[in-house]
Amino acid sequence: MQMKEEYNDIDGLITSYLSGNLDKASFSELQKWTMESEANRIYVRNKLELWFSSGVSGSVEPFDEDAAFTLFQQRAAIFPKKEKPARRSFSWKMLYRVAAVLLVLLVPFATYYQGKHTVKQNFSDIVVEASLGTHTKLNLPDGSLVWLNAGSKVTYSQGFGVDDRKLTLEGEGYFEVAHNEKVPFEVCTKEVNLRVLGTKFNFKNYSNDEEVMISLVEGKVALQNGIKAMEELYLEPNERMVLNKLTGEMVKSKANVEYANIWRDNKLFFDEELLEDIAKKLMRSYDVRIEVADSLRDRRFYGDFMINKNTIEEVLETIASTSRMNYRYENGKYILY
């Protein structure tokens, strides 16, 4: 019973430490207990690992080990077989986080902030990509979900969620962000930055696109223009922002956003889109090369296709059946004329 009470006291100190409420004297007590034996060091390490992997660090609520472990099991769930798993290592990321906290426990109190900063500086970046012809789903350390469309990439630090939740995006992604009022979620690109607390949105910004498009499904987001100086722009549900990369003009409008993330279901939907933009989607989805004749660049088409049930030739044949274009395959690419 005495040993259990001792562990309860240590759990209380760990809880206060992770929530930022531990005073100097209590920190010294926790540090001293950690250094007393290898068993104590293992106990603290295991507690920290469970906290970080379950996503409850920083909470001021009493620590519920069973609830934390249940949440950990949910967060560590294996991807369905049909999904392409993200190229990342959950265990290594978690290890770095635990190491960061263990480091400041095992060094003198005076070097606390210096040690923490040093470990953060040594975090590596994690890069997750969806190659052409595929899309990828990943779980971020904070519990947020991201689906990456073909030819897209996100980059984030191994320390994601510790002091910030920033990531960079190249291409297109659909986000379901876990709510956290204390740590805003940020998506950073060269042209526009997005900040949010908890929401669902689609962010499209391929390097060879002339526009950035953000469609909000749920919640609220703040957008900062990275090309032209202006006040932050806020989006509400069923609103869309389009940024012209050439002029920097950022326009908000009402929109039906239900089709914004239809690509997650291996579907293509063209709602009177320019043929040139349609060609870009087809190239990413089918990993092919397409060239559009100048005379067709202003043509718009409507269409709805299942990627895994239609070949590229079948899609092009359907578009050509409108008698507004023809196509041929030549020198390793499809030519639309």
Residues 241 and 170 in one domain: yes
Which CATH number characterizes residue 279's domain? Answer: 3.55.50.30
Residues 305 and 214 in one domain: no
Bridge partner residues of 262 (DSSP): none
Q: Report how many domains make up the chain.
A: 3
- List helix spans (H) across the chain: 2-18, 24-35, 38-54, 65-75, 90-105, 112-121, 275-286, 312-320
Give the residue from 122, 146, 171 where a domain finishes: 122
Q: What is the pLDDT of residue 13?
A: 80
Residues 280 and 214 in one domain: no
Residues 145 and 105 in one domain: no
Residues 169 and 243 in one domain: yes
Residues 204 and 217 in one domain: yes
Cα 98 to Cα 231: distance, rounded to the nearest angstrom: 39
CA 207 to the chain's CA centroid:
18
Q: Tens place of pLDDT for every residue, the chain, 337 residues?
A: 444 456 677 877 877 766 666 677 787 788 778 777 777 877 777 776 666 555 544 444 555 555 555 554 554 444 444 444 444 444 455 555 555 555 555 544 444 444 444 445 556 788 999 999 999 999 998 889 999 999 999 999 888 887 789 999 999 999 999 998 889 999 999 999 999 988 999 999 999 898 999 999 999 999 999 999 999 999 999 999 999 999 999 999 998 888 888 999 999 988 878 898 899 999 999 999 999 999 998 888 888 899 989 999 999 999 999 888 999 999 999 999 9
Residues 113 and 181 in one domain: no
Q: What is the pLDDT of residue 83?
A: 47
Residues 78 and 132 in one domain: no
The SS3 of residue 182 is coil
> DSSP string of 213-263?
EEEEEES-EEEEESSS----EEE-TTEEEEEETTT--EEEEE--GGGTTGG
Residues 101 and 59 in one domain: yes
Residues 289 and 305 in one domain: yes
Cα 250 to Cα 244: distance, rounded to the nearest angstrom: 7
Q: What is the DSSP letter of 186?
A: E
Which CATH number characterizes residue 186's domain? Answer: 2.60.120.1440
Within 13 A of 123's CA, how many CA atoms are on the CB side? 25
Print the domain residue range for 197: 124-259
Give the residue from 259, 276, 297 where a domain finishes: 259
Residues 73 and 141 in one domain: no
Give the residue from 122, 151, 178 where a domain finishes: 122
